[in-house]
Structure 1
Amino acid sequence: MAKLTVKDVDLKGKKVLVRVDFNVPLKDGVITNDNRITAALPTIKYITDNGGRAILFSHLGRVKTEEDKEGKSLAPVAKDLSSKLGQEVVFVPATRGAELEAAIDGLEDGQVLLVENTRFEDVDGKKESGNDPELAKYWAGLGDGIFVNDAFGTAHRAHASNVGISENVDKAVAGFLLENEIAYIQEAVEAPVRPFVAILGGSKVSDKIGVIENLLEKADKVLIGGGMTYTFYKAQGIEIGDSLVEEDKLDLAKELLEKSNGKLILPVDSKEANAFAGYTEVKDTEGEAVDKGFLGLDIGPKSIEKFAKEIDGAKTVVWNGPMGVFENPDFQAGTIGVMDAIVSQPDCKSIIGGGDSAAAAINLGYADRFSWISTGGGASMELLEGKTLPGLAALTEK
């Protein structure tokens, strides 16, 4: 990566501004998944171990009104982070002002402070998400000229707490998580060890047009599963029953198939049900066609076998999007089958591009068997599309 990283700057005695991604799920004030907090620990510890004073910024959820602030405070995150670091994390329930400034001035080397939810600044106009220059300059002025961006999950957005601060400090550098995300995803797509197989699932073709087009150029094969299968089926005149379809994307699906030169590989059967919820019958289709009155909710056993053969021998695999409604045990066999095929490849760099695929791997017990699981759904999608991420572009060149 041609950007400075946290290892390239002197941290001792410095007030170091750090953008982390603590946008974690909360239920009744309790964190239900702390993976993003854990992922930020190496960078935070490196800063404190090297004598820096870490001042952390993060958003939590979407905040547009005063009512939206309810249940969106980062106070529970500060408590969890304190436990993980084994030291007190100073939490300031403000995003600017005298209380925040005094707390920062009172920090000693090796201490950590967490600022309140940056999105609270969006209540009076989009100051955070709109990259308000005055706010960005204010936040940048709280430190000593060093900004560490370790929030890959927001790197595809130009906000005050990432791009704005970057533009107002001496050095804006990447943290370890951001560095790893770029190394795994971008390098896998731009300079893959071949054969390179991409696997795309999810419900809509429209969500992944750019990804499909980019990967058809880069990958040796692109396997398609999930709900978007049926838009491709219908584009070819195959019966899809009541399956999900994007009628306005049929021509596009046909065009993608035609220009793929055989690289785009579709399922050959489905697991179908007579309703999405409250169904009374579940069965495998004979072939591609879905029976009338039924809808496809997972790839079928023949497709699992076919996809396993296509994945066999791969040295780089990028996967984004489950093969079916994996949250339901009746429709998770396709996703499990594909994961089994990926993790059984020797010496293969296997990467999950965040979102539902990451949730599937974690929830189904496969997390530690992949080379890398991205922490950012939207950001990883844009990297897979070949786009430049604003948060990354704003960092200081080496």
Structure 2
Amino acid sequence: MLNVGSQPALNQPGQNSLWPLPPFPTQSPPMLLAAVPNSGPTTGGNTVLLIGMGLSNVTNVSFGGTPAIVLSQDFPLGLLVSVSAPAHAAGTVPVTVTTTAGTSNAVNYTYQAPALPPTAASIVPTSGPVTGGTPFTITGTNLTGANVLFGGVPATGVVVDPSGNSLTGVTPPGIAPGNVPVTVITPNGTATVPGGFTYLAVTPTADSIVPTSGPVTGGTPFTITGTNLTSANVLFGGLPATGVVVDPSGNSLTGVTPAGLAPGNVTVTVVTPNGTANVPGGFTYTAVAPTADTITPNSGPAAGGTPFVITGTGLTGGSVTIGGNAATGVTVDPTGTLLFGTAPAGTVGNQPVVVTTPGGTATVPGGFTYV
């Protein structure tokens, strides 16, 4: 018999077979696992896929308190929600999803400030030698990751300050003297420095010459030391030296002296495409000691008047005595190897013939015989 005090039996005629109803299940709040991508621009508008569980029936998606536009959701699975990120200031914000079951945990999303192109306000110094090697500083903004071109040629040793507002480097050699554009190149753009950079022609310097003297006949090998001597010519008293060769460093050159116009000191001038320089002290041409090889004829009347020719070297500026008496009408040919004159009156017999020049004296072998 049924105990009337107990719970009514199921399936009683005229009663609901589910009575009494079991407790209604409670739905859990959504759970977020990731936002893909987890960063984007401050302007928003990019699509972000939210991955998690229980994401059905989404009523709101928040990016740091700013609602996003829900583009799609995979109802009824509730694993994915696609949204359009709202605009927001730069920084990291929490992202949450709210459904009819509640609000999820937060995942992080970072708003990135837009990359800014560089600016280049100035360069110091504004000029330097065409050989390059000038340290410089450029000031501006957003210079991180920069390279610098001088007339299209990359600078060396470029280092950007951590602030991104200045950089330093060393100028490359220029192609030629003159002004060139200076361009700063970063991953986010380029900037040109106002006024560019001016490459200056490098004038030579001439510090010394070795040796400092040599015969007036020329032919003395010499070395000049200095700087920026590339492509140089050398003048000795205005006369060009021969065989001039400049060391690749541009700091020295060698050559051979030309014949001088006369004994004495002359100016030595180094001439390059970028200017000239004088060697301190110049170069001293020394007189050449004469030689006297023959006299023709080697005899004549004691009354004098015999024309003669003396052969030798270094006879320029020479005078002649025969037996101590000066010959007359003495001239020397331009080569300094022939001396012409007329014998003076003398004493019968053989007499010495002496040639005297600014460089010394020489005696003609065999002398001259008066008859």
The two structures have a TM-score, normalised by structure 2, of 0.19
| Larger strand percent | 2
Q: Which has the higher helix share?
A: 1
Report the TM-score, using the length of structure 1 for normalisation: 0.18
Higher relative contact order (CA 8 A, sep 6+): 1
